[in-house]
Amino acid sequence: EDLINQIKAGEVVERPYNIVKEVVENSIDAGAKNIQIELLDGGKQLIRITDDGCGIPENQILTALERHATSKINKFHDLESLASFGFRGEALPSIASISNFTIRSRPQNQEMGKEININYGNLLSEKEISMPHGTVIQVKDIFTNVPVRLKFLKSTATEFTHIHDFLIAMALANYHISFRFSHNGREVFHYHSKKTLKERFHDIVGVDAKDFVELNYSRGSFNLTGFAGLPKSAKQNPSYFITFVNGRYVKDKIIRSGVLQAYQGLLIKGLIAPAIIFVKVNPSWVDVNAHPSKTEIRFYDPASLQELVSIGIQEAVKDSVH
């Protein structure tokens, strides 16, 4: 079982970013209003994520740490959302098998919380503690027991950037949640809960927000929202290029090509402007077998998708230029 968890961990966890992704997604699923992410050394030394979500009842914590334990199947009605968010109940046991892992959790209706410490897959301690309601997950010294994987971790700066970019994306998609992020004891950002995507966008982009146009384009089951840089602000190296498909954070070259095509059609060649793009499509357009822990996605008809993204951006940019 321990070995299976470690093998599974290889699929779920490649680097600190994967841990942050799984744990933050759990916090969002738990209905958290406040999520705090603390890192040491790009997450290689420590990742601590604190939420004020629903918590885990004390008699269910150990179960949640077993493979294929998920409390979420009933919450999701279609297989698409199930598959795309990877609700498979493998994240926590995988993470606990390759780290010094501590979970503390307390549902609101429970007086005391429970703390469990697992050291590279071995249960070390289990005790009652007093704590605010919610869940704290602490992951220390990842891959110390898997030297080959430890060797593949990149510099602190690289691991930090992966996590930072992901958290910015999450903060946009979940603007109603407050996100607080610190690295090596220094606060990186603290975004308070907002009522609209636009407000959160302003928090993140600051004064540069005036160089963006809001997107809102629909055709059939295709819907495009978000923000795209205006031509005058287009830079060779966009500081923001964030894409979501059906709520899932992806890095997709089809959408990227669509953006490029839009700007080429409008003005300058070879230029890609900063953009934050939320694409919604009929779930049947997307290959759900793409691995849930990866950020790639496959469309059955990439050409049409690229075209729709391009048109959606062109319309918005054209309107605001003229």
Q: Which residues bind ligand ADP (CB under 6 A)?
A: 22, 26-27, 30, 51, 53-56, 64, 69-72, 87-92, 135
Residue owning tokens 């709520």: 247
Judged by beta carbon distances under 5 to 8 A according to partner kind, the member of ligand ADP, Mg ion, none in contact with residue 316 is none
Instruction: With CA atoms as reference, report the closest residue to 209 among 218, 199, 219.
Output: 199
90 vs 159, which CB is nearer to ligand ADP? 90
For residue 76, the cross-strand partners are none
Residue 80 CB, shortest distance to ligand ADP, in Å, is: 15
Judged by beta carbon distances under 5 to 8 A according to partner kind, the member of ligand ADP, Mg ion, none in contact with residue 89 is ligand ADP
CB–CB of 208/270 below 8 Å?
no
**What does the per-residue mask of binding to Mg ion show for 169-208, with x meaning CB under 5 A?**
----------------------------------------
CB–CB of 118/96 below 8 Å?
yes
Judged by beta carbon distances under 5 to 8 A according to partner kind, the member of Mg ion, ligand ADP, none in contact with residue 313 is none
- Position 91 contacts Mg ion (CB under 5 A): yes
Rounded alpha-carbon distances, angstroms, from residue 160 to 80, 144, 167, 172, 216: 31, 19, 10, 18, 32
CB–CB of 171/179 below 8 Å?
yes
55 vs 312, which CB is nearer to ligand ADP? 55
Tokens found for residue 37:
């992410």
Instruction: With CA atoms as reference, report the closest residue to 283 among 87, 77, 90, 89.
Output: 77
Options 34-42, 87-95, 97-105, 192-200: segment touching Mg ion (CB under 5 A): 87-95
- Position 26 contacts Mg ion (CB under 5 A): yes
CB–CB of 228/275 below 8 Å?
yes
91 vs 173, which CB is nearer to Mg ion? 91
Residue 178 CB, shortest distance to ligand ADP, in Å, is: 15
The DSSP letter of residue 268 is -
Q: In what order do the strands lie in the sheet with 34-40?
A: 122-129, 113-119, 100-106, 134-140, 46-51, 34-40, 178-183, 186-191
17 vs 285, which CB is nearer to Mg ion? 17
Residue 75 CB, shortest distance to ligand ADP, in Å, is: 9
E strand segments, the chain? 34-40, 46-51, 100-106, 113-119, 122-129, 134-140, 178-183, 186-191, 212-219, 222-229, 241-245, 248-250, 275-280
Residue 102 CB, shortest distance to ligand ADP, in Å, is: 13
Residue 91 CB, shortest distance to Mg ion, in Å, is: 4
Judged by beta carbon distances under 5 to 8 A according to partner kind, the member of ligand ADP, Mg ion, none in contact with residue 88 is ligand ADP
Residue 25 CB, shortest distance to ligand ADP, in Å, is: 7
Residue 32 CB, shortest distance to ligand ADP, in Å, is: 7
* Contact residues for Mg ion, defined by CB under 5 A: 26, 91
